[in-house]
Amino acid sequence: MYDSVLRLQMPESVKTIGFADDLAVVVVAKHLEEIEVNANGAIATIRAWMSGVGLRLADHKTEVVLVSSRKISETITLSIGSCDIVSKPSLRYLGVQIDSKLRFDDHVKIVSQKASDVCNALTRIMPNIGGPKQSRRKLLSNVMVSILLYGAPIWSNAMETKSYVRQMSAVYRRSALRVARAFRTVSYDAVCVISSMLPIDLLVDERAR
C-alpha cells in the first residue's frame, strides 16, 4: 500500500526514493528558487496522499541537505506542514552521512569513531597473551570491519583522500594487531599480512566494484 507514494505524479526534476518507512525526495535544479518550488510542491502532494490513506508525515523529523559544487555554502528553507525546515550541512539517511559536497568526510569520521569504540570493547576479550585463537579473533574483528564498510559503494570515492584512508586505517590496524597478537610497533602493512586481513582501502574498493 505504501508503495503507491512512489508512483505519485511529480515534476520531471523530482524523484522519490523509498526504503521501508523512510522516504527521500530528490530535487535536481540549477536555481535555488526552482528547488524550493518543486520540493514544496512534491511534499504537499505526498502530505495530501498520506492524509488520504490515514497516515501522517513526521514534519519535525524531516531533514534537508543542499548538495552543490559551489564554493559558497548556501541554504534553503522548505515549508513542511507547520514547520519551516532549513537545510543542514549533512544528514544521515539509511546509515550513511550525506554532506552538501558529497565528500563523505563526516561519514568517515563518524564510522571511524564508532568502529574505534567497538574495537576498544573487543580488545578486552582479545588479549595478546591467551584469549581466543586467531580464527576466532578474525571473526570477532569482522564486527568492526562491517561498521567501517557499511555503505562502502556509496562513499568509496572518499578513499581518494589520503587523510580519510589514514583515519580508517588507524582503527583497522588496531584490530589487526589483536588478530595477529602483534606488538603495537608493527607496521600497518606488515600486520595486515600477518593477520591475513586485506588493507581497508582495498576492501572499500572491492565492495564498490
State residue 98 phi and psi, 5-degree precision.
-105, 120
Give this prediction's pTM. 0.79
In the predicted model, what is the mean pLDDT of residues 56-72? 84
| C-alpha distance from residue 46 to each of 8, 39, 94 (Å) | 8, 11, 20
- pLDDT, residue 36, reads 87
CB atoms within 10 A of CB 85: 19
Residues 96-148 pLDDT 10s: 999 988 899 899 999 999 999 988 888 777 777 777 777 788 888 888 899 99
**Residue 155: pLDDT above 90?**
yes
CA gap 115, 133 in Å, rounded: 22
Band (31; pLDDT cuts 50, 70, 90): confident
Read off the DSSP letter of residue 52.
H
The fraction of the chain above a pLDDT of 90, given in percent, is 37
Cell numbers 584490530 label which residue? 175
Query: What are the sequence ranges of the domains in the chain?
Result: 2-88, 104-208
